[in-house]
């Protein structure tokens, strides 16, 4: 497999135009649709391009839904019948892996994807608000539309006179009423921590903020309104993905 020479995050399902000659590009990530129903996708590109969609968030289950063997102009959606997918039923709240591949020879180049929503509205290109970045360490969790409870107090940062141990920790575990979530990361950056049940339902957003490198952060966890059982605490920060099981026993 050829190593990528560059990568970036996009704000819509569309690559830059006129980048150069003799290269290949790939746009991939996850899509979460706003409503359950039938969706139609189109792909445009130069020179050749293919669009894949999985039945879930696993890339191994992807199938080709649209393609073109020769070039189209920028956002030219109707040059070939193969550019348009069949109607595909997708479920709100479920995450689907999606991928577009482009192969460029010479001359102009482009890659774009648009879609049609169940009500007939066409969005061109597919907006980034329905997309999330691809992660090789992503866990199979689908956000449910249940209400979110905030069950943590303010975070405490500790740096002085302590040996910083990087990672994600929970104590006590099992927890009955009050517990602590503690984490420290080797790199600074935007950090998010969420609590899920084992069915993938979002229980709480525990933390959302910028953290300094090698700084211990402690969160007070109130488990009093959680039922007995097993939960997952999932931390994301840049390329870091950490997961811990939380046991609630009262």
**Residue with structure tokens 């709480």?**
204
* pLDDT value at 151 more than 60: no
199 CB contacts (<8 Å, ≥6 apart)? 144
pLDDT in tens, 7-47: 667 788 998 887 777 778 889 989 989 899 999 999 999 88
pLDDT in tens, 206-241: 888 778 888 888 888 888 888 899 998 989 888 888
Sign of dihedral through CA atoms 210, 191, 162, 180? positive
The fold of 14-133 is Jelly Rolls (2.60.120)
Count of helices and strands (H, E) across the chain: 0, 17
Among 184, 208, 22, residue whose Cα is nearest residue 103: 22
Among 99, 78, 88, residue whose Cα is nearest residue 33: 88
Q: How far is CA 23 from CA 5, 19, 54, 110, in A?
A: 10, 9, 25, 12
Among 1, 51, 62, residue whose Cα is nearest residue 26: 51
Beta partners for residue 115, in sequence order: 41, 123
- Please state the domain extents for the chain: 14-133, 167-248
Q: How far is CA 93 from CA 73, 90, 128, 146, 202, in A?
A: 34, 9, 16, 10, 11
The fold of 167-248 is Immunoglobulin-like (2.60.40)
pLDDT in tens, 91-150: 988 889 999 998 887 777 899 999 999 999 999 999 988 888 876 544 333 333 223 333
Rounded to whole angstroms, the Cα distance separating 117 from 123 reads 8
Backbone angles phi, psi at 188, to 5 degrees: -75, 155
Query: Is the whole-model pTM more than 0.75?
Result: no
* pLDDT mean across residues, the chain: 81
Among 125, 123, 127, 130, residue whose Cα is nearest residue 44: 125
Rounded to whole angstroms, the Cα distance separating 17 from 20 reads 9
pLDDT in tens, 129-139: 888 887 654 43
Rounded to whole angstroms, the Cα distance separating 57 from 140 reads 7
**What pLDDT is recorded for position 142?**
34
67 neighbors 43 (Cβ within 8 angstroms): yes
Dig out the tokens for 45 from the structure.
Answer: 């590109």
* pLDDT value at 168 more than 60: yes
3-state secondary structure of 129: helix
**What pLDDT is recorded for position 132?**
84
The answer to whether domain 14-133 and domain 167-248 are alike in fold is no
């Amino acid at each position: 497999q050829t190593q990528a020479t560059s990568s970036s995050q996009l704000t819509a399902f569309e690559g830059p135009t006129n980048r150069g000659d003799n290269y290949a590009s790939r746009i991939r990530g996850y899509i979460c649709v706003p409503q359950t129903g039938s969706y139609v996708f189109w792909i445009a590109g130069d020179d050749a391009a293919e669009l894949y969609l999985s039945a879930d968030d696993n890339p191994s289950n992807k199938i080709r839904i649209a393609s073109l063997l020769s070039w189209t102009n920028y956002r030219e959606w109707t040059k070939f019948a193969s550019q348009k997918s069949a109607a595909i039923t997708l479920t709100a709240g479920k995450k689907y892996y999606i991928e577009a591949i482009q192969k460029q020879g010479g001359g102009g180049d482009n890659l774009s994807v648009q879609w049609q929503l169940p009500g007939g509205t066409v969005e061109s290109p597919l907006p980034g608000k329905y997309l999330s970045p691809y992660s090789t360490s992503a866990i199979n969790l689908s956000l449910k539309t249940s209400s979110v409870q905030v069950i943590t107090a303010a975070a405490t940062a500790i740096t002085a006179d302590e040996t910083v141990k990087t990672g994600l920790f929970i104590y006590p575990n099992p927890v009955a009423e009050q517990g602590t979530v503690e984490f420290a990361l080797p790199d600074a950056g935007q950090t998010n921590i969420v609590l899920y049940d084992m069915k993938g339902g979002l229980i709480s957003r525990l933390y959302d903020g910028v953290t300094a490198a090698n700084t211990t952060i402690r969160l007070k966890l109130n488990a009093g309104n959680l039922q007995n059982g097993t939960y997952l605490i999932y931390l994301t920060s840049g390329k870091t993905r950490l997961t811990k099981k939380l046991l609630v026993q009262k």
